[in-house]
Amino acid sequence: MQELRHLLVQEQKRLETIINKARSGLESAPEGRLRISCDKSKPRYYQYMSADNETYIPKAEMELARLLAQKNYNESVVKKAEARLKQIKKITKNYSDDEIEKIYTSMNKERQALVTPVEHGINCLKCGMKKNIREKNSKKVRH
């Protein structure tokens, strides 16, 4: 697939930007986690620090609940984006868009004359044209 490497590099840059943005949001995040419970169909928000340390967040402090929720979201985004980034780096490490084509072009000319490439990249098309010319010439000689 042509240009896949370019697309992967673009995605790598996008993920790095996402990770940096999400991490910057974590720097000023409050401690603890957000726990939400429902009481009579109304949500109640708690700042969870540990099993024995949990504090109710009153309506006047809803910004704390929002910051804790955002912190959790940012942590999840960083975790997922880092996993994808690792996969992309592994793929692009040894990847080349024309690696299949290079198998054919690295063959000597005599072998290329006997082989039909399964992928027709620019270089293979040039080689294939030469092969077709040779085949036509060899048919003329036989008749």
**pLDDT tens-digit series, residues 11-42:** 999 999 999 999 999 999 999 999 999 988 89
Q: How far apart are CA 142 and CA 96, in angstroms?
A: 41
For residue 104, give the nearest of 130, 124, 122 by alpha carbon.
Answer: 124
Model-level pTM greater than 0.75? no
Tell me, what's the pLDDT at 75? 97
Mean pLDDT of the chain: 86
pLDDT at residue 131 is higher than 60: no
Closest CA to 27 of 66, 74, 79: 74
Cα gap 98→1, rounded to integer Å: 8
pLDDT of residue 119: 76
Locate 82 and state its tokens. 């880092």
At residue 70, the pLDDT reads: 97
Helices (H) and strands (E) in the chain, counts: 5, 3
